[in-house]
Structure formats: C-alpha cells, structure tokens
A = this chain, B = another copy of it.
Amino acid sequence: MRLSDAIEEFIKELWEHDEAEVELKRNELAEYFRCAPSQINYVLSTRFTPDHGYAIESRRGGGGFIRIIRIQRESHETLRYLLNERVGEAISAKEAQILCLHLAEQGTISHEDAELMYAALRPQSQSVPIPEPLKDVIRAKTLKNMLLSLAQRGSQQ
C-alpha cells in the first residue's frame, strides 16, 4: 500500500466521535511513518482539501500543530455551492470524481448515485478525438446538469 494512503487512513482514524476537528504534530506523524515531514503536507494537500470536505489550520514554532476540520454543510447548501461557485466552466475527471464521492460521503446522495454520476464523467465517456480542454468543458456542463437534477429532487417534496 502506498505511504500516502496509509497516512490518509491513519489521520481519518483520529476522529473518534462526531468531533469537528482533530489535531496532529507534523514531525511526530512523519517520524511514526519514517518519512519526510513534507510527506504529511503532500497527503494533506491531496486528500484533505475543501473538495474532500476539509479545511486545514496550523501554527509553526514551539507548540505548533496542524488542525484538520471537517466542513459541515446542509445538502442544499453544498449543491448550491458546487453549482454556483465550485464547478465553473471546466473541470477535470479527477476533480469531478472527488466531488461526487464527497457528496456520497456527506450523505447528500447515495453511493450508488455517486457511482452513476462518476460513470458519466469518467474519461472513457469522452474517448473521442477532441481537444482536452473541451472535454473539461463538456464535463462541467454535464456535472452541473446532474447537480441541477439532484437539487430539483429535494425541492419537489
């Protein structure tokens, strides 16, 4: 297993209950995994981003720390944010996948629907010879249309 994945898993196990945040010491963690301290930053910047539903705070110097905060939002708020601010004009398959999986993690949609959405957004759905940037544009439009459909579900009851 990749080091990064192990560290990611380890960090996620730090949450015991419903706490909003956990704290860790970068150097301690690095020593525990016998890796370069900057490896911790790598894990944080690739797996604990706002797209994944996390925010990071930290302080250097004596008594320094890294705090990882889980972002809590209402489902409709999340959808609004994704539609109006996050997705934008273009989006990569990777980013789109992260967003879909996070929607499921957060309970806004089922894991099955997340898979369904990701299936539509995966690179294989666009394996035709057109410029890559255009694919990201189509993907963004597709994703937004699906998000819109999700938003309408809720508001119909």
Q: Which residues of A contact B (CB under 8 A)?
A: 1-2, 5, 50, 55-57, 62-63, 112-113, 115-120, 122, 124-128, 130, 134, 137-138, 141-142, 145-146, 148-150, 152-153
Chain B residues with Cβ below 8 Å from A115 are 149, 152-153
- What are the nearest 10 A-B pairs in CB distance? A119-B149, A2-B63, A125-B142, A119-B145, A120-B120, A125-B141, A119-B146, A116-B149, A125-B145, A120-B142
Quick check: A141 and B112 within 8 Å, CB to CB?
Answer: no
Among A122, A149, A152, A153: residue with most chain B CB under 10 A: A149
Quick check: A146 and B124 within 8 Å, CB to CB?
Answer: no
Q: Which of B125, B150, B152 contacts A138 (CB 8 A)?
A: B125
Q: Is the interface of A mostly helix, strand, loop or mixed?
A: helix
Chain B residues with Cβ below 8 Å from A119 are 55, 145-146, 148-149
List 13 A-B residue pairs with CB atoms under 8 Å apart, sorted by A's residue number: A56-B124, A112-B153, A119-B145, A119-B148, A119-B149, A120-B120, A120-B145, A120-B146, A124-B141, A125-B145, A128-B137, A138-B138, A142-B142
Chain B residues with Cβ below 8 Å from A141 are 124-128
Q: Considering the chains assembled together, what is the distance between the CA atoms of A138 and B142 in angstroms?
A: 12
Q: Considering the chains assembled together, what is the distance between the CA atoms of A63 and B5 in angstroms?
A: 10
Chain B residues with Cβ below 8 Å from A126 are 138, 141-142
